[in-house]
């Protein structure tokens, strides 16, 4: 929220006693661009972290406090985005554990959305009639510290195996109401190309399934995972949408933009879901910048999520009013299609509901007074009549075979 400035009289930082920190330029290009190299060389310990950044005491404590019960992994790519000196860096905050994760006493559960109740088979979360989640794995390139599905992703025990995915596909095939499936987990792009395409092929053979969404943070944390070839193959199963997860403008790099462009250029639209993270992106200026950066790359802001009540991520949660005032700031100052929908996923499995600023000021008979984004009041007058039936509706629906 605040811009930190270094006073001109401040002493220069001490000269490092150990080897200089790694930077993107330290790694040969050919390795850097190889996603398998990135994945194999993920940072999983304090020692490895210290090769990229000057690890702060709160991070040392955080890693030590959490290592027994949760995984940490950071791709060299994502680490290269970190500010080496400032532990408040948004990339560091999202990827490096803090002690608050284990000292969380207010959020009561690791499954606040009651997903387990809707897991009719292990690979499926089916809450809404027409759409379902297909959990394809429990693996991600980076384990986000705010992950709401940490009960799966942070441990290696909760594993989702091939049988579970197969059963999930069967479940969808036998449930004609499902027209929209979200491949998630975990991360859809943690599957190999071969496995992902094979899965898409099987899903496309289900006649009632119309929409496929790939939910992945790879463009943000492992952009080299996306090749033009993969994008082209995925396009073959259209309509497929990619849903990704940028939270901060610092994540919208040239590489990340390129990964998304491969999909978009081949006809796979890319949508973005952000989560409000206290002290990381809870600022109207930052969300404004993020949305501008996204639409410049043709990525559409879809949801802005209020944090879920997940045990272990309470320190990231903000009051509902913060999202409302961010939305207030966006409206009128940025194109309507660049504004995400602010939603809260209701605890207990109620699903997502939108909330936000109220623009209706008062009603005076048939006149409704609204305020605009500048706070000025304008009156809209209702028509003197009510609504009418749509006589052509029956005809049209019959033409579409829905009569």
Ligand X SMILES: *Cc1c(COP(=O)(O)O)cnc(C)c1O
Residues in contact with ligand X by CB under 6 A are: 125, 127-128, 131, 133, 182, 352
Rg of the chain taking only CA atoms, in angstroms = 23
| Residues between 164 and 203 that touch ligand SF4 (CB under 6 A) | 186-187
144: annotated active-site residue: yes
Instruction: Choose, by CB under 6 A, the member of 153, 272, 283, 306 that binds ligand SF4.
Output: 153
Q: How far is the CB of 133 from ligand X (least distance, A)?
A: 5
> For the chain, what is the largest distance between any 2 Cα atoms, rounded to a whole number of angstroms?
80
**Cβ pair 290, 330 in contact under 8 A:** no
Instruction: Choose, by CB under 6 A, the member of 96, 144, 286, 309 that binds ligand SF4.
Output: 144
By CB under 6 A, is residue 248 in contact with ligand SF4? no
131: annotated active-site residue: yes
d(CA 402, CA 398): 5
d(CA 127, CA 39): 33
What values do phi and psi take at 211, rounded to 5? -110, 135
Beta bridge partner(s), residue 341: 303
Q: Edge-to-edge strands of the sheet including 211-215?
A: 124-128, 131-135, 180-184, 211-215, 240-244, 270-275, 300-305, 341-346, 351-354
**Interacting partner of 153 out of ligand SF4, ligand X, none (Cβ under 5 to 8 A depending on kind):** ligand SF4
Which residue of the set 111, 138, 293, 345 is catalytic? 345
**HSE-up of 38 (CA within 13 Å, CB side)?**
25
Which residue of the set 89, 140, 260, 291 is catalytic? 140
- Residues contacting ligand SF4: total by CB under 6 A: 9
At 273 the three-state DSSP class reads strand
Q: How far is the CB of 352 from ligand X (least distance, A)?
A: 5
Q: Which is nearer to ligand X, 249 or 301 (CB)?
A: 301
**Interacting partner of 204 out of ligand X, ligand SF4, none (Cβ under 5 to 8 A depending on kind):** none
User: Site residues (CB under 6 A) for ligand SF4?
Assistant: 140, 143-144, 147, 149, 153, 186-187, 217
Q: Which positions are annotated as active-site residues? A: 127-128, 131, 140, 144, 147, 149, 308, 345, 352
């Amino acid at each position: 929220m605040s811009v930190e400035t270094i006073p001109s009289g401040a002493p220069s930082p001490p000269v490092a006693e150990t080897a200089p920190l790694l930077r993107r330029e330290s790694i040969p290009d050919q390795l850097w661009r190889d996603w398998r190299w990135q994945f194999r060389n993920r940072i999983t310990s304090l020692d490895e972290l210290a090769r990229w950044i000057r690890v702060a005491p709160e991070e040392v404590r955080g890693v030590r406090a959490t290592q027994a019960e949760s995984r940490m992994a950071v791709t060299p790519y994502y680490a290269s985005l970190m500010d080496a000196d400032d532990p408040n860096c948004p990339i560091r905050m999202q990827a490096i554990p803090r002690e608050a994760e284990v000292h969380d006493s207010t959020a009561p559960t690791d499954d606040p959305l009651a997903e387990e109740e809707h897991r009719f088979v292990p690979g499926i979360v089916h809450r809404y009639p027409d759409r379902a989640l297909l959990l394809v794995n429990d693996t991600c390139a980076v384990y986000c510290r705010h992950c709401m599905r940490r009960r799966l992703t942070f441990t290696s025990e909760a594993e989702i195996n091939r049988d579970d995915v197969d059963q999930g596909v069967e479940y969808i095939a036998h449930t004609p109401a499902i027209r929209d499936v979200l491949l998630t987990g975990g991360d859809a792009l943690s599957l190999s190309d071969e496995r992902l395409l094979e899965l898409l092929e099987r899903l496309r053979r289900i006649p009632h399934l119309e929409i496929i969404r790939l939910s992945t943070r790879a463009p943000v944390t492992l952009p080299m995972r996306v090749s033009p070839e993969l994008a082209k193959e995925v396009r073959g199963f259209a309509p497929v949408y990619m849903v990704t997860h940028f939270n901060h403008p610092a994540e919208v790099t040239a590489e990340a933009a390129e990964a998304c462009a491969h999909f978009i250029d081949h006809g796979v639209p890319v949508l973005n879901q952000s989560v409000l993270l206290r002290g990381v992106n809870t600022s109207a200026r930052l969300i404004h910048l993020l949305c501008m950066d996204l639409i410049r790359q043709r990525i559409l802001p879809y949801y802005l999520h209020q944090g879920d009540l997940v045990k272990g991520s309470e320190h990231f949660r903000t009051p509902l009013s913060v999202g409302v005032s961010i939305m207030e700031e966006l409206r009128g100052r940025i194109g309507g299609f660049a504004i995400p929908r602010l939603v809260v996923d209701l605890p207990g499995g109620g699903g997502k509901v939108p909330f936000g600023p109220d623009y209706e000021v008062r009603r005076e008979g048939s006149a409704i007074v609204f305020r605009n984004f500048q706070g000025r009041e304008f009156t809209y007058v209702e028509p003197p009549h009510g609504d009418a039936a749509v006589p052509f509706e029956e005809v049209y629906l019959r033409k579409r075979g829905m009569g």
